[in-house]
Amino acid sequence: MTLAIDVHDLVKRYGTRTVVDRFSLSLERGRICGFLGPNGSGKTTTLRMICGLLTPDGGGGTCLGYDLVRDREEIKRQTGYMTQRFGLYEDLTIRENLEFVARVYGLDRLKDRIDRSLERLALTTRQGQLAGSLSGGWKQRLALAACVLHEPKLLLLDEPTAGVDPKARRAFWDEIHAYAADGITVLVSTHYMDEAERCHEIAYIAYGALMARGTAHDIIRQSGLSAFIASGAGADRLAAKLREAPGVSAAAAFGTTLHVCGPDRAALERAIAPWRGDPGIAWEEAEPTLEDIFIHLMGRAQDNAPGG
Ligand SMILES: Nc1ncnc2c1ncn2[C@@H]1O[C@H](COP(=O)(O)OP(=O)(O)OP(=O)(O)O)[C@@H](O)[C@H]1O
């Protein structure tokens, strides 16, 4: 079995609203897949269907070789799911939280598992500290320690580093890579582009539908977007004007430079033409960034959405 996740045409409806719309994903074992998409696009709902917590209204497939609907209990046993909100007890210590989780799941080798998990996530020296007194980064490490106690083969992490500082996020991602190197598969939702770039591959979803899939390099190459960077006096101040111009899907200032992109190179060149002759501004063609592409896809999905 090389595919850890192999799901096809998953559908989830709430009332008359389809929040996940024929979503398919295959992911090989030991890979880290970043799951990106705007707020409310269906990432959490999809993660919950994959780990057997929610029953799809359509479609199906396998997770760790088990049938998504028929074998939900086995899938749950072998999957670690880290929810968006810190779900541990703030008035228990780190160790007590892990003991509690281990008992709830009826795990054996309790002391051994907890010691190993504490050590692996560098929590040993803090084990007596109350969870409520931890900083955001350490809380997330504790949450990760709790969700790997039962030695899962698949980790589903829902925005695990939201609001965490860059150093702690980097350390958290080093752990994710260490788990993947041990053969654990990771599907992780995030809104951070630097994290998307740390994934082996990416799946981008909008309005419940998969819009882009592949490595960051593939997604950039296949995007069909053109981009230009302008630098020089006042270049950054052109963003507001260019954003409204036909052919421009995104224009944003980065420091003193301006980054502009669009799906049609000729239309984009027409949009920037009025400022190309300005001797104080230098223009150069650039590769679109992942963020450019996701903003473009979001706009396209909005245009196609019901009532969009
Ligand atoms: N139990 C529910 N009942 C009704 N609607 C729901 C329910 N759960 C989720 N939704 C709706 O489904 C849509 C998808 O939500 P979901 O939480 O899966 O998105 P998301 O991509 O994880 O968002 P975010 O990035 O903000 O976490 C949203 O519009 C949400 O309001």
pLDDT tens digit string along 204-229? Answer: 999 999 999 999 999 999 999 999 99
280-297 pLDDT per residue, tens:
999 999 999 999 999 999
Give the mutation target among 13, 16, 45 for probing the ligand 1 site: most ligand atoms within 8 A of CB.
Answer: 45
Each domain of the chain, given as residue ranges in start order, spans 3-219, 224-287
Q: Check the CA dihedral 40-44-48-53 and report its sign.
A: negative
Average pLDDT for residues 77-94, to the nearest whole number?
A: 92
Average pLDDT for residues 69-97, to the nearest whole number?
A: 93
Output the residue whose Cα is nearest ligand 1's atom 3.
14
Confidence check: pLDDT of 234 > 90: no
Question: To which H or E segment does residue 18 belong?
Answer: strand 17-28
Give the mutation target among 39, 41, 205 for probing the ligand 1 site: most ligand atoms within 8 A of CB.
Answer: 41
CB 81 within 8 A of CB 53: yes
Give me the long-range contacts of 81-85 (CB less than 8 A, separation at least 24): 81/47, 81/48, 81/51, 81/53, 81/147, 81/155, 81/156, 81/158, 82/143, 82/144, 82/147, 82/155, 82/156, 82/157, 82/158, 82/160, 83/158, 84/44, 84/158, 84/159, 84/162
How do beta strands 58-63 and 66-67 pair? antiparallel
What was the pLDDT predicted at 283? 95
What was the pLDDT predicted at 84? 87
Confidence check: pLDDT of 303 > 70: no
What was the pLDDT predicted at 305? 65
Q: Check the CA dihedral 291-259-171-141 and report its sign.
A: negative
Cα dihedral 89, 90, 92, 95 in deg (nearest 10): 80
Output the residue whose Cα is nearest ligand 1's atom 4.
14
Output the residue whose Cα is nearest ligand 1's atom 29.
40
Question: 283: CA distance to ligand 1 center in Å?
Answer: 41
What was the pLDDT predicted at 68? 95
Output the residue whose Cα is nearest ligand 1's atom 18.
42
Confidence check: pLDDT of 304 > 90: no
Say if domain 224-287 classifies as CATH 3.30.565.10: no
Question: 40: CA distance to ligand 1 center in Å?
Answer: 5
73-83 pLDDT per residue, tens:
999 999 999 99
239-292 pLDDT per residue, tens:
999 999 999 999 999 999 999 999 999 999 999 999 998 889 999 999 999 999
Average pLDDT for residues 191-200, to the nearest whole number?
A: 96
Q: Find the DSSP H helices in the chain.
A: 43-50, 72-78, 94-104, 110-120, 136-148, 166-181, 193-197, 216-222, 239-243, 265-276, 290-304
Confidence check: pLDDT of 143 > 60: yes
Q: Which of 138-142, 157-161, 298-302 has the lowest mean pLDDT?
A: 298-302
Q: Return d(Cα 242, Cα 250) in angstroms, integer.
A: 8
Question: 23: CA distance to ligand 1 center in Å?
Answer: 15
What was the pLDDT predicted at 78? 96
CB 227 within 8 A of CB 292: yes
What was the pLDDT predicted at 87? 83
Residues in the ligand 1 pocket, defined by CB under 6 Å = 14, 19, 37, 39-45
Confidence of residue 90 (pLDDT cuts 50, 70, 90): very high
Burial class (CB in 10 A: 0-12, 13-18, 19+), 46: buried
State the closest ligand 1 atom to the C-alpha of 12, by its place in the atom list counted from 1. 12
Burial of 8-35, coded b for 16+ CB within 10 Å and e otherwise, reads eebbbeeeeebbbbebebebebbbbbbb
Topology (CATH) of 3-219? Rossmann fold (3.40.50)
Close Cβ partners of 16 (under 8 Å, ≥ 6 residues apart): none
Q: Return d(Cα 74, Cα 165) in angstroms, integer.
A: 35
CB 32 within 8 A of CB 199: yes
Average pLDDT for residues 84-109, to the nearest whole number?
A: 92
Q: Which of 2-6, 82-86, 153-157 has the lowest mean pLDDT?
A: 82-86
Q: Would you give the end-to-end CA distance of the chain in angstroms?
A: 41
State the closest ligand 1 atom to the C-alpha of 191, by its place in the atom list counted from 1. 25
Q: Which of 54-63, 140-149, 293-302 has the lowest mean pLDDT?
A: 293-302
Average pLDDT, the chain: 93
Give the mutation target among 44, 51, 84, 192 for probing the ligand 1 site: most ligand atoms within 8 A of CB.
Answer: 44
CB 158 within 8 A of CB 127: no
What was the pLDDT predicted at 77? 93
What was the pLDDT predicted at 308? 43
Question: 44: CA distance to ligand 1 center in Å?
Answer: 7
The pLDDT > 70 percentage for the chain reads: 98
Chain centroid to Cα 44, Å, comes to 10
